[in-house]
Amino acid sequence: MPATPLLVIEGLCKSFFGVQVLFDVGLTLRPGEVLALVGENGSGKSTTMNILGGVHRPDRGRMTIDGTDYAPRGPRDAEARGIAFIHQELNLFRNLTIEENLFIGGFPRLARWLPLIDRRRVREHAAALLAAIDLDLAPNTPVSRLSQGERQLVEIAKALGGDARIVIFDEPTTSLTDRETQRLFAQIERLRDKGIGVIYISHILGDVMRLCDRVTVLRDGHVVGDAARADLTVDRLITLMVGRTIDQIYPPRAPAIRPGPPALEVRGLSQRGMVESLDFTVAQGEVVGVAGLMGAGRSEMARILFGLDPFERGTILVDGRPLERVTPLTAMDRGMAFLTEDRRAEGLLMEASIADNIALPSLPRFAAGVARLLERTRLGDAVERTGRDVQVNATDFAATLAKNLSGGNQQKVVIGKWLLRAPRLFILDEPTRGIDVGAKYEVYKIINQLAAAGTGVLMISSEIEELIGMCDRILVMAHGEIRAEIERAAFDREAILRAAMWDSVRHGAAA
């Protein structure tokens, strides 16, 4: 094992808006090593990597590269020190060729005084880089013609061209076929052979065990394990990721003893590249959780159910009757409500008041006559009542803009705007993301009240703990499919995580 480490991170601490997300995180990367970074969603992996990449600054802690201090002020500093990121969302320009993407920051010139691109040198460099990663494509192929896997390889070539010494892969294989994954791994092994340090972030633990030399495990912002692969098993990794120290408190609720008639039935719902053959039911008064990792297709499913995205096959039945043309309007007419994952982009009108936000979905119910004049007193009263019911913390609902509220209060506004419609089926996508513990508890209470009143709840969450605490049943999704359906009696963190990770068997269709 080489003596001097390439990268050392020590004692990293970071808080966002007063909530600490990293606690003394440290890791070491040696040249020619593939280090896996694993942990549940929200365990602090991406924050750590964002600090490494110069996107965020740490509150405390120190980083060194080759023994010299490294304190990036921005992404360009990271690049200058030889750090390259390969994100899940690729940053290639589809309207340019491979070689142009490799050199877009600055092409080699014909001569110092002549600002023309030396196409021959570009071609040669690019061909050499592509050869180095075994990508058998002409350098002047447009990126738009490449498959997802080929684009990923081009990103690697770009990192190599920039003389990267540390390459970070963030969930690189989620949309790759089996063969493309094999190719990617072969390339990562070659990077290792060249003495480049690789940090590999993935939920697919089978891949981790196959590829990586060492694994660092994060949980709730703490490093809870750091060991050589030889000393680990997949089971051991899962146990490390799962074990929890803080116990969250969930409000007591009487579980649906005798589930009512189905509020939502989904039959064979499929959309190419998104979800495949989804089948499940949500009964009235039941809380059904949806677990899964990022990119498992949970939000995509929710969007299809609410008519925001199309689907090719399958049926959606609400209260036993099929939805004909699924649009947000028809879905809402049948009593559906949808709290979206992205509050800022889709949940709220940030520039509008609390009252306007709460009123928006219910406006047609308060519009009278041919002119559809709003009954402002009745509307105002209803909005006021709902806002107080969900305990939005503001004195004047009509004067306070949504953007000036805390995350928790914003979420209560979103919940409130749907409660005003008295939904029969409420789809909640990450209802407690980015809100503090107190607000979480209040959100849980509201969900329980809804269920008690007979509303069916479909709750998507990345916090398994939360699902276990709240749900009657949990569906586990991976790769756009439902992998497991677990009853309350059989709830078990490890079993859920295992189903979500879906490690050993990869998708069959790729063969």
User: Which residues bind to other proteins, rule: CB under 8 A?
Assistant: 75-76, 79, 89, 91-96, 100, 103-107, 115-117, 119, 144, 148, 174-177, 272-274, 276, 295-297, 300, 306, 308, 328-329, 332, 338, 340, 345-352, 356, 359-361, 363-364, 366-367, 371-374, 376, 417, 479-480, 507, 509-510
Minimum distance of other proteins from residue 123's CB (angstroms): 13
Nearer Cβ to other proteins (173/281): 173
The torsion angles phi and psi of 349, rounded to 5 degrees, stand at -90, 95
Nearer to other proteins among residue 75 and residue 469 (C-beta): 75
Residue 419, CA atoms < 13 Å, CB-side half-sphere: 24
Q: At closest approach, how far in Å is the CB of 417 from other proteins?
A: 7
In terms of CB distance, is 242 or 316 closer to other proteins?
316
Contact 185, 210 (CB under 8 A): yes
In this complex, which beta carbon is closest to other proteins, that of residue 45 or of residue 158?
158
Q: How far is the CB of 347 from other proteins (least distance, A)?
A: 6
> What is the smallest separation between the CB atom of 79 and other proteins, expressed in angstroms?
7
Contacts of 396 by beta carbon, 8 Å cutoff, 6+ apart: none
- Shortest distance, CB of residue 96 to other proteins, whole angstroms? 6
* Short-list 7, 67, 31, 82, CA closest to 194: 31
- Of 67 and 108, which has the nearer Cβ to other proteins? 108
Smallest gap from Cβ 105 to other proteins, in A, equals: 4
What is the total residue count of the chain? 511
| DSSP 3-state of 486 | strand
Q: Which is nearer to other proteins, 13 or 274 (CB)?
A: 274
| Residue 509: how many other CB atoms lie within 10 Å | 9
Report the residue number, 94 or 244, with the smaller CB distance to other proteins: 94
Helix (H, G, I), strand (E, B) or coil at 246: coil
Q: Could you give the CA distance from residue 427 to residue 401 in angstroms, rounded to a whole number?
A: 25
Positive or negative torsion for Cα 56, 57, 62, 68: positive
Nearer to other proteins, 176 or 468 (CB): 176
The smaller minimum CB distance to other proteins, of residues 24 and 342, is found at: 342
Task: State how far the Cα of 303 lies from the Cα of 316, in Å rounded to an integer.
Answer: 13
CB of 138 to other proteins, least distance (A): 17
φ and ψ at 129, to 5 degrees? -65, -40
Indicate the residue among 206 and 328 with the shorter CB distance to other proteins: 328
Distance CA 411, CA 434 (A): 9
Measured in degrees and rounded to the nearest 5, phi and psi for residue 219 equal: -145, 125
Q: What are phi and psi of 103, to 5 degrees?
A: -115, 15
Chain Cα centroid distance, residue 175? 14
CB of 237 to other proteins, least distance (A): 24
Looking at beta carbons only, is 381 or 487 nearer to other proteins?
381
Q: How far is the CB of 241 from other proteins (least distance, A)?
A: 22
Q: Please report how close the Cβ of residue 39 comes to other proteins at its closest, in angstroms.
A: 21
Strand segments (E) across 210-312: 214-219, 222-228, 262-271, 275-283, 287-292
Nearest to 48 by CA among 30, 63, 69, 33: 63
Which CB sits closer to other proteins, 215 or 414? 414
Which residue's CB is nearer to other proteins, number 329 or number 490? 329
User: Is the separation of the CB atoms in 447 and 266 below 8 Å?
Assistant: no
Instruction: Measure CA 323 to chain center.
Output: 29
Residue 12 near residue 51 (C-beta atoms within 8 A): yes
What is the smallest separation between the CB atom of 177 and other proteins, expressed in angstroms?
5
Q: Give the separation between CA 67 and CA 127, rounded to whole angstroms.
A: 34
Give min distance, CB of 106 to other proteins, in A: 6
Residue showing tokens 């959606």: 316
**DSSP string for 2-66:** -SS-SEEEEEEEEEETTEEEEEEEEEEE-TT-EEEEE--TTSSHHHHHHHHTTSS--SEEEEEET
Give min distance, CB of 93 to other proteins, in A: 5
